[in-house]
Amino acid sequence: MLKIVTHPDPILRETSAPVKDIDGQIAQLAQDMVDTMHYGQGIGLAGVQVGRLYRIFVTHVTNDKPRVFINPQIVETTPEVTEYEEGCLSIPETYASVDRSAGVKVQAWNERGRSFNLDADGLLARVILHELDHLNGVLFIDYLKERKRKRLMRQYERVQSR
Ligand code: NI
């Protein structure tokens, strides 16, 4: 299992670099990330969260298969926005409502180096947008109003100090 980096580790604020070669090492990283995500009972995990600053993330939402996204690009997002309670393996036991586009079209490569396009909605769209943010150093708490974020972070500090 890989070690998950938690907030406020500054690496979570870094921008991840594109993967140059989708080789066996990247395929192994993807598999380790899927295992780590399952172990942590998460539904998404980005490379930066295991200390690897590559543009790669994995997802596994209910009624879907585990998916690997390498060098993902947003093709389109729907103007329609939905609100949902989000969490993050890097900010354990901390949840808040975040508005995001209800649907997203994304292009990426899988761990076998195959390009694919995916039209996602519902929870998968949300996870994809959340994980894409990680690749740019953005966390879901960044979307909260200051007062709400401060309150949540005080609660998080108590969780962390247990
Ligand atoms: Ni996260």
pLDDT at 162: 81
Token pair in block for residue 98: 């975040």
Q: Is the predicted pLDDT of residue 40 greater than 90, yes or no?
A: yes
Mean model confidence pLDDT for the chain: 97
The tens digit of pLDDT for each residue in 54-95 reads: 999 999 999 999 999 999 999 999 999 999 999 999 999 999
Q: Where are the beta strands (DSSP E) in the chain?
A: 44-46, 56-59, 67-77, 81-86, 96-101, 103-109, 115-121
Q: How many helices (H) and strands (E) does the chain have?
A: 3, 7
Q: How far is the CA of 43 from the centre of ligand 1 (A)?
A: 9
pLDDT at 159: 86
Report how far ligand 1's centroid is from the alpha carbon of 44 (Å).
Answer: 7
Q: How far is the CA of 19 from the centre of ligand 1 (A)?
A: 20
Task: Give the per-residue pLDDT at 160.
Answer: 85
Domains of the chain plus CATH, in order, are 10-160 (3.90.45.10)
Q: Is the pTM of this model over 0.85?
A: yes
